[in-house]
Amino acid sequence: MSARRGALLRMILTAAPLAGCAGGSDAPGGTPTFHADIEPLLQRSCVSCHSTGGIAPFGLGSYEDAKSVAELIAEVTRERTMPPWGAFETDECRPRHGWKADLRLSGEEIARFEAWSAGGAPEGERALTPAPLASGADELHGAEQELAPMAPFVASGESDQFRCFVLDPKLSDTRYLNGWSFLVGNSKIVHHALMFLDERGESEALAGPDGSYECFGGPRVEGGVVAAWAPGGRPFDAGPNVGAPIPAGSRLVMQIHYHPAGATAAPDSTRFQMRFTPSPPEYELIFALVGNYARQFANGDGLQPGPDDERGASFRIPAGAHDHVERMRFTLPATMNGHPTPDLHVYGVGPHMHYIGNDVKIDIEHAGGASGQETEECLLQDPSWDLTWQRLYQVDAAIADLPRLAPGDALKIRCTYDNSLENPHLRAALSERHTTSPVDVSLGDTAFDEMCLARMAFIYKAR
């Protein structure tokens, strides 16, 4: 268990209490019991990972499972290291809305785990057992199609590997992707996965006989990202009137970043599940990876100058540096591809950094000055970044109430890093490289480089 935890934009701790179960202890003296008080919380916030075939090291699906680790459950929930969650309200970031599928526990719920453990972890009445959850936490509800590489891939060696797999959904008409899930084959080596749209089928000529090719730096096709996965990611479910267009005849290119760490790994065959809208949706969904700029652009966007930069803006995190900050900026232009840019509703947001990431904050700077609108709006802050637990956080609000990025507004990303031996993630990474000394870190694609990214899901009114 971890100690810490479309076409339009193809450019480029105080935990809030949740409305949980009230509980209904059937034990003498009011001690919480498993079936009445604990099992509903485990189902809501824990079992999606702690289940057979899940990414957690043990299951929590039965009384016997939970009782054997009752003291540990009380400890990690008290410390808020579990359930894993990154989007917290802080003094400098209080988003206007909550998050869908929020795993966090209220203070009362944490106290319930404490009391259950201290009281001997009683089982209680089996008649109070809640209905079982559907199996397969990573399975997409209502999946219509599943794509898989032609052959498994075996990663090996000291260097990170980037492999692209060409997938053919065999669409005869444009369909609108309404939900998706990556079913990761070998989670020990899959660092992250991106799904790119290849409308022209250019990837077919790049692939070898096994339907894959090396693709460090990118898939070498024109299309943009339509889906992404990182450790801790869950299936993505869009609303009934929301979908990402996948034109007829398109190929999908799944780029997987493998991190073999000097070993020859077991074969990986990561699969991709899809669900579509039954008809063209009212809102189109687009994904954008914003950030990772290596320089500042003429309009002032891109990588922002920092106090440690010697000549202009540069991305360099010195060895031993604490609280080193890099900033990125992107302004939504008034037109794209010769057409007026519509307002974009922020449907979901998620950060991405690597080992020495420490804190990340994503804001919108509003330029329009609409009545009653704040000049700056915080979308998300993850004050305790943990590479091993990442997700795209979906905003829990009606479409009309979602945060908006309008033409002229700027998306700003502030990434803070700890490149010192006080960072336990860095110590583990250095050990993997058989060294103990931090080095200067630059922007790059491998696990030992760094990134400063906002993973954005936008929707806009279809024309």
For 167-185, give the secondary structure using H, E and C: ECCCCCCCEEEEEEEEECC
26: phi then psi, degrees, rounded to nearest 5: -110, 10
What pLDDT was estimated at residue 199? 94
Please state, in angstroms and rounded to a whole number, the distance separating the CA atoms of residues 197 and 248: 11
Query: 417: number of CA atoms within 13 Å, CB side?
Result: 29
Please state, in angstroms and rounded to a whole number, the distance separating the CA atoms of residues 37 and 113: 9
Which residues are CB-contacts of 178 (< 8 A; sequence separation ≥ 6)? 237, 238, 240, 242, 243, 275, 276, 277, 281
Please state, in angstroms and rounded to a whole number, the distance separating the CA atoms of residues 302 and 317: 17
What pLDDT was estimated at residue 158? 82
The CATH number covering residue 257 comes to 2.60.120.310
- 6 domain-assigned: no
Q: Strand order of the sheet with strand 357-365?
A: 302-303, 324-331, 410-417, 357-365, 376-382
- 274 domain-assigned: yes
**How many residues does this entry show for the chain?**
463
Which residues are CB-contacts of 213 (< 8 A; sequence separation ≥ 6)? 163, 164, 166, 203, 206, 207
- Which residue among 239, 264, 281 closes a domain? 281
The 3-state DSSP class for residue 390 equals coil
- 12 domain-assigned: no
Measured distance between the N- and C-terminal CA atoms of the chain, rounded to whole angstroms: 47
- Which residue among 128, 161, 187 closes a domain? 128
Which residues are CB-contacts of 272 (< 8 A; sequence separation ≥ 6)? 146, 147, 148, 167, 180, 181, 182, 183, 195, 227, 252, 254
Residues 245 and 307 in one domain: no
What pLDDT was estimated at residue 394? 92
Residues 190 and 221 in one domain: yes
Nearest to 193 by CA among 127, 120, 246, 270: 270
Encode 416-434 in three state secondary structure: EECCCCCCHHHHHHHHHCC
- 15 domain-assigned: no
Q: Which conformational region is residue 379 in: left (phi greater than 0), alpha (psi within -120 to 50 degrees), or beta?
A: alpha
- 344 domain-assigned: yes
- Which residue among 281, 302, 331 closes a domain? 281
Task: Show the low-confidence residues of the chain (pLDDT under 70).
Answer: 1-29, 52-55, 132-137, 232, 369-373, 463
Residues 342 and 440 in one domain: yes
What pLDDT was estimated at residue 133? 60
Residues 97 and 165 in one domain: no
Summarised one tens digit per residue, pLDDT across range 226-268 is: 988 877 678 899 988 999 999 999 999 999 999 887 888 899 9
Residues 71 and 97 in one domain: yes
Residues 441 and 320 in one domain: yes
Residues 299 and 436 in one domain: yes
Residues 186 and 253 in one domain: yes
Token pair of 363, please?
A: 């804001």
Q: At what angle do helices 107-118 and 70-78 cross, to 10 degrees?
A: 150
- 19 domain-assigned: no
- 271 domain-assigned: yes
What are the C-alpha distances in Å from 395 to residues 100, 332, 437? 6, 20, 40
Range of the domain at 78: 28-128
At residue 362, what is the residue type?
Answer: I
What are the C-alpha distances in Å from 310 to residues 235, 299, 462? 43, 21, 46
Residues 193 and 94 in one domain: no
Nearest to 162 by CA among 105, 220, 108: 220
Residue whose pair of structure tokens reads 């453990």 in the numeric block: 117
What pLDDT was estimated at residue 228? 85
Residues 273 and 295 in one domain: no
Residues 330 and 272 in one domain: no
- 438 domain-assigned: yes
Residues 428 and 316 in one domain: yes
The CATH number covering residue 328 comes to 2.60.120.230
> How many domains does the structure of the chain reveal?
3
